[in-house]
Structure 1
Amino acid sequence: MSKPVGEIAEKIGAILEGDASILVDDVTHDSRQAKQGSLFVAIRGLTMDGNRFVGDVMRRGAVGVISEIEKPSDFKGVWLRVQNARIALAKAADVVYGSPSKSLKLIGVTGTNGKTTTVYLSFALAEANGDKAAMLTTVEYRIGNETVPAVRTTPEASDTQRFLKKALEKGCKAVAMEASSQALHLHRCDELDFDAAIFTNLTRDHLDYHGTMENYFDAKKMLFDGRLGKPPDYSIINIDDEWGRKLISELSHKQNVITFGLNSATADFSAVEIRVSLFEGTAFVMKTPQGERYVKSPLIGKPHVYNILGATAAALAVGYDLDLCIKGIEKCVGAPGRFERVPHDGDFAVIVDYAHTDDALLNTLKTAKELAKGRIITVFGCGGDRDRTKRIPMGEVAGKNSDLVIITSDNPRNEDPLKIISEIEEGVISTNCPYLKIPDRREAIHTAIQKAKPNDVIIIARKGHETYQIIGNEKYHFDDREVALEALENMKERV
């Protein structure tokens, strides 16, 4: 439904120049999406200024522009001047698309690790309860069975509102989405009406962006404390995590806090009798305010117990049935590239995992060590043009928890791959673990599989679900799972 510019201007607190009665039916930050009836929001980014594209969007049929600068003297159209274009983008999109989040059971998930799997679980639990669901993740954007590859973990505010409106129109009752720290800080989640928000954990990551752990935490906290517009109806928080406990202590609306964990006697949702199998998944007894239930999941590893607890707590908070949730857990295979076993007939295991922080890698290797009867061989690298503070710690974690480490390239981007590898090497050297340096990722994976012995577990870490490798400014097709299968086939042929 179209909205008059005057109503939008009032909502975003803009100084309006032009005809307030002109109707708007779309809002975008992307000049390429501008069309007849669009309102373009000119955002000043780190490398690009949206104001440069004002002429282009008007030629495409846009009715006007939201900007932080004064209207150019030769501009023909509606001009809305604001103090903060990102905040205005979120508010304008909410108005134009009719506040779709208010008509959905919206679950947001934030934290360093576990976000994607928790969203996949939340999607599965909604569907198990008879609700058509949608989700926004690092891997994909999905409405029911319709899916497209994700552009970023959390879309820009206008893209999210447009997605929610489409989900609602297609009959969805529930949406689960990842809320990254950058997205929260950049106001991409402003004006979203969350029924439940889940905090998984907080460990070192994205310090190249946030600077300090305190700033990183504060960005995550925005999902819970009302700075997005209103706090969630329920805050679901991992009480085992030190930052989770800090979050609980700083929230004023503690009556709506629900906790989960494995190590706290006071957690609202917890688990006992945990058993993990490389071939059968994870089983445990879940303790909830509605009683105990036996849970059997195809997901492998104790970290997934946390994900299951958080998703179940959120599901019950929004009104879902516990027993139907248990059935949903049993069917949910989770997100691709999260401790994903590469299928083959050999006598050793090959696992692909997205672990991209030292804490995530530690959890992955702990799970592998619990399951392995032989050695742990770890293949991994670190991304270029990203947080360098993770490289030495990831090397240390790999060395301490592996029998052989193969350091390789990840997405080097515009950094020298050998320089990245040398920084990781510092951490591995400190552990005295045997290691190899093989910059070519394909060769590194082939080497690991060639060296495997019976009962070994090979962990290919960091890229997970990704189907590309970024070298310089170019993106090339590369899938760890495909390369592992290729190496396994080569072994068969040699035998």
Structure 2
Amino acid sequence: MNWQTVCEGLSATDRYCASVEVSGVEYDSRRVRRGDVFVAMRGEATDGNRYLEAAIAKGASAVVTDSREAYERLRREHVDVGTALVERGRRALAEVSSAVMGHPERDIALCAVTGTNGKTTTAFLLEAMLRSVGRKCVLIGTIETHVGEEVRVSPHTTPESRDVLEIFADGVKAGATEAVMEMSSHALEQERVWGLPVDVAMFTNLTQDHLDYHGTMEKYFAAKARLFVGVGAPAPRVAVINGDDGFGRRLIGENRQSHLMRYGLETLSGDYRAEDVQLHAGETRFIFKTPNGDAPIRSSLTGRVNVYNLLAACCAALARGLRLDEIEAGAASGAQVPGRFEVVPSSHDLTVVVDYAHTDDALRNLISLARELVSERGGRVITLFGCGGDRDKTKRPRMGRAAGEGSDLVVLTSDNPRSEDPMMIIEEALVGVRETAVRCIVEQDRAAAIEIAIHAAKVGDIVLIAGKGHEKVQILRDGTVPFDDGAVAAGVLREIA
């Protein structure tokens, strides 16, 4: 593709349309190949403009920069390189990537889900429903990325726009017509999803998280709300919003452009509701009530929180044209979501569950579900958790309080401490635990803590290993090491057997 053609769709304040051909896009100079456009932008951690010369040395045919100084230097010293000056580097990255890759976002119907909790499960459920009627899908989320039948590792919940568009392009080549994405508040705020036309937008809930980045709940909510007005694209055609959530009700009140589908368990909160809810270990049943008919829903997912996730996915599936009977079949076909109330296989009567719960609200929901499951057999809830380092510190005592209020025994340990001292993090969480009367064991070493929690359990108890879920590493001050909660727990269970 000629650089001049790319420039036609670029919101640039100045440009030099050298007659060069471009074949790819990169924002990391280490990945640049001959013929690429290098988009240099100022980010949170570094400034891509520091690597212009390295990108050109590797063969970049054109450069987009958000620095006037860099742009003028390029015009003087590299007259054979196409150049463009932009105000917002991330927007330019999306525009250039879309043009060079042939606008794959136009050939795929996108459903996007945002919220504090439930994004991953809702995305997996919706993809399962779409696939159950023969539609090929792209899935982009926290745990993994799907391109048709191919499964890839997800380095981020929501990647940069260039990477999203490349996944979409691969999906279109594989015959995909649908895409389901988790959209994090960071990605919406930073405009990593700029220009993506969302057909169906879903909102699960909003509870305290990421205040280390957003600062206040109002700013956190404002970032999530951007999905429903469009980020460099029109507002979604359909907005699927949890009417039982306070912030969801605010979104409903502010909705002016999208067709609204309110869901919930409370009669006044949802036009799409769950009635006659039956919760059992390994099974959830309810009647999906809609303005145009009802459907019995059965899923292998467990707990009240998953009723909400199922409702969101059912509504989005309806919006994408599935019939009620197809949604019923699709919900029943949904597989276990890795690291979301994932029961560790065991040869004896000890129940050990790995879950990603890493906020006080998610931890409270998880413990409440476990309490329901053990109540009939008189068992106890043993909760192991930790708090992440270099993240919102204010939620640490809140998590401690949530764990202590619902559990019979708490094992407090390290999560991903990152650059912080693990024991300092534990001490901050311990403040909340001490506000309750629960017995608490502190063990910094997570593997040893898992062993302690499982050995403390008796038949009829549930051991909850919370915080890391699907993750396969632990991030420490000195680097990243392999660590899998499920694998460590399985090893302890084998030793006991």
Give TM-score scaled by structure 1 length. Answer: 0.96
Matches within 5 A, 1:373-388: 373=377, 374-388=379-393
Q: Whole-Å Cα distance in 2 between the matches of residues 276 and 350 of structure 1?
A: 19
Could you tell me which residue of structure 2 aligns to residue 419 of structure 1?
A: 424
- Deviating 4+ runs (over 3 angstroms): 15-21
- Asked if structure 2 preserves the Cα contact closer than 8 Å seen for 1:133 and 1:172, the reply is yes
Matches within 5 A, 1:252-267: 252-253=256-257, 256-267=259-270
- Asked if structure 1 preserves the Cα contact closer than 8 Å seen for 2:114 and 2:203, the reply is yes
Q: Whole-Å Cα distance in 2 between the matches of residues 127 and 17 of structure 1?
A: 44
- Asked if structure 2 preserves the Cα contact closer than 8 Å seen for 1:298 and 1:330, the reply is yes
Matches within 5 A, 1:236-255: 236-253=240-257
- Asked if structure 2 preserves the Cα contact closer than 8 Å seen for 1:17 and 1:80, the reply is yes
Q: 2:166 aligns with which of 156, 162, 171?
A: 162
Q: Percent identity among equivalent residues?
A: 42
Q: 1:191 aligns with which of 195, 198, 205?
A: 195
Q: 1:217 aligns with which of 215, 221, 228?
A: 221
Could you tell me which residue of structure 2 aligns to residue 235 of structure 1?
A: 239
Q: 1:25 offset after TM fit, Å?
A: 2.7
Could you tell me which residue of structure 1 aligns to residue 346 of structure 2?
A: 344
Q: Which is worse superposed, 30-39 or 301-310? A: 30-39
Q: 1:57 aligns with which of 55, 58, 64?
A: 55
Q: Whole-Å Cα distance in 2 between the matches of residues 92 and 23 of structure 1?
A: 13
- Asked if structure 2 preserves the Cα contact closer than 8 Å seen for 1:9 and 1:16, the reply is no
Q: 1:8 offset after TM fit, Å?
A: 3.0
Q: 1:142 offset after TM fit, Å?
A: 0.9
Is the alpha carbon distance of 1:49 and 1:361 closer, same or farther for their aligned partners in structure 2, counting shifts above 3 Å? Answer: same
Could you tell me which residue of structure 2 aligns to residue 27 of structure 1?
A: 25
Q: 1:46 aligns with which of 35, 44, 63?
A: 44
Q: Whole-Å Cα distance in 2 between the matches of residues 289 and 116 of structure 1?
A: 27
Which residue identity does 1:101 align to in structure 2? E
Residue 274 in structure 1 maps to residue 277 in structure 2: yes
Matches within 5 A, 1:71-110: 71=71, 72=73, 73-76=76-79, 77-110=81-114
Q: Structure 1, unaligned stretches of length 5 or more?
A: none
Give TM-score scaled by structure 2 length. Answer: 0.96
- Asked if structure 1 preserves the Cα contact closer than 8 Å seen for 2:191 and 2:231, the reply is no
Q: Which is worse superposed, 74-83 or 427-436? A: 74-83
Residue 458 in structure 1 maps to residue 463 in structure 2: yes
Q: Whole-Å Cα distance in 2 between the matches of residues 455 and 339 of structure 1?
A: 17
- Asked if structure 2 preserves the Cα contact closer than 8 Å seen for 1:201 and 1:244, the reply is yes
Q: How many residues align?
A: 488
Q: 1:320 offset after TM fit, Å?
A: 1.8
- Asked if structure 2 preserves the Cα contact closer than 8 Å seen for 1:336 and 1:464, the reply is yes
Q: Whole-Å Cα distance in 1 between the matches of residues 347 and 271 of structure 2?
A: 42
- Asked if structure 2 preserves the Cα contact closer than 8 Å seen for 1:129 and 1:325, the reply is no
Which residue identity does 2:468 align to in structure 1? K
Q: 2:11 aligns with which of 3, 13, 19?
A: 13
Q: 1:310 offset after TM fit, Å?
A: 0.6
Q: 1:30 offset after TM fit, Å?
A: 1.7
Could you tell me which residue of structure 1 aligns to residue 142 of structure 2?
A: 138
Secondary structure of the corresponding residue to residue 40 of structure 1: strand
Q: 1:319 offset after TM fit, Å?
A: 1.2
- Asked if structure 1 preserves the Cα contact closer than 8 Å seen for 2:364 and 2:403, the reply is yes
Q: Structure 2, unaligned stretches of length 5 or more?
A: none
Q: 1:74 offset after TM fit, Å?
A: 2.0
